[in-house]
Amino acid sequence: MEKSNNKKMNFFVRTYKAVTKFETYTQFAIEPISKAIKYLAILVLIFSIIVTTIYITSFKSKISQGVLYLKENIEDINFNNKTLSYNNGEYSIYNDDKNMIPIIIVDTSEEPNIEEYRNKVKLYDYGFILLKDKIEMFISTQSDENQFTTMLYSDYNIDNMSKEEILNSINNPIICVYLGIAVFIVEFIQYFIYILLNAVVLAVMGQLLAMILKLRMKFSETYRMGIYALTLPAILELIYIILNNTTGLVIQYFSWMYTTISYIYICVAILIIKTDFINMQNELIRIKMEEQKEEKDTLEEQDETKDENTEEKKEEDSNEDSDLKEQTEG
């Protein structure tokens, strides 16, 4: 019956039970690994789509404000033969902490110090580096990995452009489309692998706890449970990303909370399995004792019946002997 119910669970039912029903982890532990991986893939897919939408929406807003900032603060900039020209190769930094894009570095000289510029941009959440042959866009991601996106001018059909045309090209929606695809692929692969590795850690922890409780469990069983134990942490991380991007909320020890919740889930799930196992053993013992009692009562009844039959036979034999004696005397 449990396997039948398990087969009928769709993704959203699994998510609900993974978060609220610890007893369901017994079913998760015995199901095929393919179901757990499929569940994880759908979970990460939804996560990646939402996170990508958040990042690209925020980025599009930053781009629009950045273009406005460039329009108001850069005087002489143009394209000539797919090469950017700015104030005769002059180096400039436009820095404003209050602006949505707090730093823009422009250097169209022959040998720009790119590493130095990158280090400066990394101090902020967003930034642009405009060079002679390319643009580097920087976005600080939630995973603490500094992301630079490079756009080569040679990849675009650009020969001669005025300042106004350049700004319109930067604000082109196709940039957000390409960037969105790239962010989605990176987020999906990165988070999928991240959860798989975390599930391994949880599986090892589950094995240690099972050994302490003297509960025999395969590594594959605790691994499947580990995947589902990461459901609530993943949902909380998604909520945190949304709040962080909309309100600027920062939780300093969120990663610790993420890990702790998953540990609690795997431990509670294994303790419930142990409790169920003990209850099952007690039930089996009770049933066996009842069977032994019934068997004993049956044997006692048989013995009593046998004794009664023996007494009746003795009485019959005695009566026969008496009758025979009377006949003889007569």
Residues 3 and 31: their CA atoms lie apart, in Å, by 8
Mean pLDDT of 298-308: 67
pLDDT(99) > 90: no
Residues 206 and 198: their CA atoms lie apart, in Å, by 12
In three-state secondary structure terms, 180 is: helix
Contact partners, residue 270, CB within 8 Å, separation at least 6: 206, 209, 210, 213, 215, 217, 222, 225
Nearest CA to 56 out of 180, 239, 150 is that of: 180
pLDDT(124) > 90: no
Cα distance from N-terminal residue to C-terminal residue, the chain:
81
The predicted pLDDT at position 322 comes to 63
CB 137 within 8 A of CB 149: yes
The predicted pLDDT at position 326 comes to 59
Global pTM exceeds 0.75: no
Give the residue carrying structure tokens 């757990």. 36
277 pLDDT band (50/70/90 cuts)?
Answer: confident
The predicted pLDDT at position 188 comes to 95
Q: Would residue 87 be called left, alpha or beta, if left means φ above 0 and alpha means ψ between -120 and 50 degrees? A: left
SS3 content of the chain, % helix, strand, coil (to 5): 70, 10, 20
Residues 125 and 66: their CA atoms lie apart, in Å, by 13
Mean pLDDT of 151-165: 75
DSSP tag of 325:
H
pLDDT(1) > 50: no
- The partner residues of 172 in beta bridges, in order of sequence, read none
pLDDT(162) > 80: no
The domain segmentation of the chain, as residue ranges, is 82-158
- Beta strands at 103-107 and 126-131: parallel, antiparallel or unpaired: parallel
Cα dihedral 150→151→155→159 (10° resolution):
-140
- Beta strands at 103-107 and 77-80: parallel, antiparallel or unpaired: unpaired
Average pLDDT, the chain: 81
